[in-house]
Amino acid sequence: MSGSDLSMTNRSKNRLVWMCLVVAPVLFAAIAALQVSIDARTRSVASQKQELLLRSAPLVKKLSLGYDPLLADIYWTRAVQYYGERIGQPHADYDLLWPLLDLTTTLDPRLLTAYRFGAIFLSEPPPIGAGRTDLAIELVKRGIAANPDSWRLDSDLGFLYYWRLKDYPNAAAFYLAASRVPNSPPWLKLMAARVADKGGSIETSRMIWTELFESTKDLNVRKNAFEKLRGLKAQEDEMHLDELAEDYRKRFGHYPASTKEMRDTGILNGIPVDPDGLPYRIGPDGKSRLDPRSKVLIEKDSGTPVK
């Protein structure tokens, strides 16, 4: 190697070192600024422009200089914080949730946690989540493409089609796809069969939410699954009470005014209570409902599920 070639090589190395010393601190400083801008209630035009710059996942990846996994962890932690600060707040917006998840999974396509729980954060209806099932599905499909050996992602996609879209054929197909991934558990085939056979039954929903509750250590996800299981229990109780109230009408010519009347006539063995321990009410139309003081939440946007 000639002296001029050696000199050029040294200059190239020096230039690379200089870029690392200058660009890396700038990048981390920009990330810190983004975190500040997320928490700020009011933002200047300059901070908004900076935030938009950092929404470009390919750009951040180019600037990462090999720190991709570290930056992905930072962005994922920030996404969890961002979600946790807003969950349950009336009129909360989740505008930055997708950009944070996009950055996280672009920087580290193998970070399964970001796909799995990020999809839940995105798909939950307001004020619990962003109400963007379309983005949740896009996120999980991206995860499957990058991690074809993960049966959990196919299972998560089946869950989204089942619970959010009520698309039972597609839900069954993705549960079946998950069952074909090596080392996947045998219950996935059972889940696929149940979804294909019974669609949106309460029994199937309970199985899905129970599996989610038992398979995660994330406190927000566990709490959400627990609340869904409570709601399913109350919904099942109400369906049973509605049937008994109809039997009461056929026998006595009118609907019962309370579950106490149903108990006194022998139709009920006792006074049923919801998961909060409060007795169910019976309306003039014979339909059961929760006590106004109850904190149990029932999702009925898909109509009454079949048994």
Asked if residue 263 belongs to a domain, the reply is yes
pLDDT band at 190 (very low <50, low <70, confident <90, very high): confident
Instruction: Indicate the number of domains in the chain.
Output: 1
Asked if residue 271 belongs to a domain, the reply is yes
Asked if residue 259 belongs to a domain, the reply is yes
Cβ atoms 181, 150 nearer than 8 A:
yes
19: pLDDT strictly greater than 50: no
29: pLDDT strictly greater than 70: no
Sign of CA dihedral 195, 196, 202, 203: negative
Can you tell me which residue has the tokens 């609340």? 227
Asked if residue 221 belongs to a domain, the reply is no
pLDDT band at 102 (very low <50, low <70, confident <90, very high): very high
pLDDT at residue 66 in the model: 67
Range of the domain at 251: 226-289
Asked if residue 61 belongs to a domain, the reply is no
pLDDT band at 88 (very low <50, low <70, confident <90, very high): confident
Asked if residue 143 belongs to a domain, the reply is no
User: CA 207 to CA 13: how far, in whole Å?
Assistant: 58
Of 222, 208, 97, which is closest to residue 163 (Cα–Cα)?
Answer: 208
251: pLDDT strictly greater than 50: yes
Mean pLDDT estimate for the chain: 82
Dihedral-angle region of residue 159 (phi above 0 means left; psi in -120 to 50 means alpha; beta otherwise): alpha
Average of pLDDT values for 65-89?
A: 86
285: pLDDT strictly greater than 80: yes
User: CA 44 to CA 50: how far, in whole Å?
Assistant: 10
39: pLDDT strictly greater than 90: no
Sign of CA dihedral 101, 102, 103, 105: positive
pLDDT at residue 25 in the model: 53
Q: Is 293 helix (H, G, I), strand (E, B) or coil?
A: coil
User: What's the token pair of residue 193?
Assistant: 């069969």
Asked if residue 236 belongs to a domain, the reply is yes
- Compute the C-alpha angle 126/145/211, nearest 5°: 55
Between 25 and 273, name the one with better pLDDT.
Answer: 273
pLDDT, tens digit, 9 for 90 and up, residues 200-240: 788 888 888 888 788 777 787 788 889 989 999 999 999 99
Between 114 and 7, name the one with better pLDDT.
Answer: 114
pLDDT at residue 44 in the model: 46
Cβ atoms 88, 128 nearer than 8 A:
yes
Asked if residue 233 belongs to a domain, the reply is yes
Residue 267: CB atoms within 10 Å: 17
Is the entire prediction scored with pTM above 0.85?
no
**Region of poorest pLDDT, from 52-61, 107-116, 200-209, 216-225:** 52-61
The residues with which 273 forms a beta bridge, in sequence order, are: 279
Of 200, 203, 206, which is closest to residue 166 (Cα–Cα)?
Answer: 200
pLDDT over 90 for what percent of the chain? 53
CA atoms within 13 A on the CB side of 179: 15
pLDDT at residue 219 in the model: 82
Average of pLDDT values for 116-132?
A: 93
Of 231, 229, 248, which is closest to residue 287 (Cα–Cα)?
Answer: 248
Average of pLDDT values for 108-118?
A: 95
Average of pLDDT values for 93-112?
A: 93
User: What's the token pair of residue 118?
Assistant: 């990020």
